[in-house]
């Protein structure tokens, strides 16, 4: 029967797996790292809080897509918390941690990744359902969206806790990985492959949506009198969501590949030399997302700018502006019956015939 080491500190496992904890991270180098980390984490907290507040405040964002977008911002906010905890429990401090504290450190990171990943997957499914059916919104009610958001976080917390629940190497030192010295290599293989497969599925879904929208727009544009800019709007909006997915894949894939190589026990891959840079790249994803929201969505930027500047408009002006949506989704009256134009993702409504869909959202 294998001996278990629940009462050992992390220095025992680091020494067993020959893991580099960067003891030279002291003095000016450590101060620079903490300063940059603190700046990025503060930006993550402030910017993602603004995104969530914008969705809550602006009634034009009260649709399933934007609720899920706000939840993605909440996942990024949670990632900021995870990085703050990591900053003060890494480097030479890592060896002094207890097993439970180390599990907490890694569990927070795993939970934030899973929350973002599952949320993006749900957004992909929601967009696919609505666009393929030529609808402004999906049939998701607020109750269903709430259930989905709760489910996303339940899955994220569970996946973050899996190693703590038993899939670890505390009772089998020979199975320990190098990057995560109390994680089993088999778990790292499972974790990285699972995430990479989900990445691939989401990319395929969005490419399918993009090609469908582009083909439908090109076919129907010859039968409508809409302006060129209106006909290009659906493709432009799909690029916004695909930019979010692309940033996520680019920022997280290198780290997952490194974990996979570690799980496969690749001793000649030099993973110890790149792990910190890839972790920093993953951090940048939570910094980039709110920038993408505000840059790609004029209405989001205007709402966030108003909150930052603490400016407010008269009620009469607000009523007038609410009748002129920044991005509109109209239905064509040609022989096709329905035509996706402005706002496949924005979800605001044009025409009396669409008011019923708004009620279902």
| Domain ranges within the chain, ordered by starting residue | 24-222+233-309
Q: What is the DSSP string of 139-168?
A: S--HHHHHHHHHHHHHHHHHHHHHHHHT-B
Neighbours of 144 (CB within 10 A): 12
pLDDT greater at residue 174 or residue 332:
174
Q: Is the dihedral of CA 34, 35, 36, 38 positive or negative?
A: positive
Output the pLDDT for position 59: 85
**How is residue 277 written in tokens?**
């840079």
Q: Which of 270, 298, 354 is nearest to 20 (CA)?
A: 270
Helices 142-165, 99-132: axis angle to 10 degrees equals 150
Token pair listed for 114: 């899973």
**pLDDT (tens digit, 9 = 90+) per residue, 216-249?**
767 766 555 544 444 454 455 566 677 888 888 8
Q: Is the model's pLDDT at 164 over the cut of 70?
A: yes
Chain centre distance of CA 203: 14
Percentage of residues of the chain with pLDDT beyond 90: 21
Total-model pTM: 0.77
For 248-280, the pLDDT digits (tens) are: 888 888 888 888 888 888 777 777 777 778 888
In the predicted structure, residue 353 carries a pLDDT above the cut 80: no
* Helix segments in the chain, DSSP class H: 10-17, 28-57, 64-87, 99-132, 142-165, 185-221, 228-263, 275-296, 298-309, 315-322, 355-360
138 confidence band (pLDDT: 50, 70, 90): low
pLDDT attached to residue 171: 87
CATH superfamily of the 24-222+233-309 domain? Rhodopsin 7-helix transmembrane proteins (1.20.1070.10)
pLDDT at 150 over 90: yes
Predicted confidence (pLDDT) at residue 130 exceeds the cutoff of 50 = yes
How far apart CA 123 and CA 71 sit, in angstroms, is: 10
pLDDT at residue number 96 = 87
What's the whole-number mean pLDDT along residues 11-39? 71
pLDDT above 50 for 123: yes
User: Which residues make Cβ contacts (< 8 Å) with residue 284, sequence separation at least 6?
Assistant: 40, 251
pLDDT of residue 339 exceeding 70, the answer is no
CB distance 170 to 5 below 8 Å: yes
- In Å, how far are 24, 168, 251, 338 from 334, measured between CA atoms? 70, 61, 44, 8
What does the CA dihedral 217, 219, 224, 225 come to, rounded to 10 degrees? Answer: 70
- CA torsion, points 185, 199, 240, 110, in degrees to nearest 10? -30
pLDDT mean across residues, the chain? 76
From CA 197, how far away is CA 205, in angstroms rounded? 12
Average pLDDT of the segment spanning 286-292 = 85
> What would the pLDDT profile of 66-85 be if each residue is shown by its tens digit?
899 899 999 999 999 999 99
pLDDT above 90: residue 361: no
For residues 356 and 286, give the distance between their C-alpha atoms in angstroms, rounded to a whole number. 36
């Amino acid at each position: 029967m294998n001996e278990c080491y629940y009462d050992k500190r992390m220095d025992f496992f680091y020494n067993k797996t020959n893991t580099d904890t960067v003891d030279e991270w002291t003095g000016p180098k450590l101060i620079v790292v903490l300063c940059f980390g603190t700046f990025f984490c503060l930006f993550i907290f402030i910017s993602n809080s603004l995104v969530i507040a914008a969705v809550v405040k602006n009634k034009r964002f009260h649709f399933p897509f934007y609720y899920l977008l706000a939840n993605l911002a909440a996942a990024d906010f949670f990632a900021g918390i995870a990085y703050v905890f990591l900053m003060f429990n890494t480097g030479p401090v890592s060896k002094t941690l207890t097993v439970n504290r180390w599990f907490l450190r890694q569990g927070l990171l795993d939970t934030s990744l899973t929350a973002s990943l599952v949320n993006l997957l749900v957004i992909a499914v929601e967009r696919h359902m609505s666009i393929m059916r030529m609808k402004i919104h999906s049939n998701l009610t607020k109750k269903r969206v709430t259930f989905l958001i709760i489910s996303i976080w339940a899955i994220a917390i569970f996946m973050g806790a899996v190693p703590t629940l038993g899939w670890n190497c505390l009772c089998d030192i020979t199975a320990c990985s190098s990057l995560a010295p109390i994680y089993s290599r088999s778990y790292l293989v499972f974790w990285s492959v699972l995430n990479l497969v989900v990445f691939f599925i989401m990319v395929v879904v969005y490419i399918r949506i993009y090609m469908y929208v582009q083909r439908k727009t090109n076919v129907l544009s010859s039968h409508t009198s809409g302006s060129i800019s209106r006909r290009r709007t659906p493709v432009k909006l799909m690029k916004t969501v695909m930019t979010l997915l692309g940033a996520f894949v680019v920022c997280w894939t290198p780290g997952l590949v490194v974990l996979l190589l570690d799980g496969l026990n690749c001793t000649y891959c030099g993973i110890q030399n790149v792990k910190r840079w890839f972790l920093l790249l993953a951090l940048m994803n939570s910094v980039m997302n709110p920038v993408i929201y505000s840059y790609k969505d004029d209405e989001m930027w205007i709402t966030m700018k108003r909150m930052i500047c603490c400016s407010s408009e008269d009620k009469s002006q607000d009523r007038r502006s609410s009748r002129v949506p920044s991005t509109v989704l109209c239905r064509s009256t040609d022989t096709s019956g329905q035509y996706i134009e402005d706002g496949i993702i924005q979800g605001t409504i044009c025409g009396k015939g669409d008011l019923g869909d708004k009620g279902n959202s």
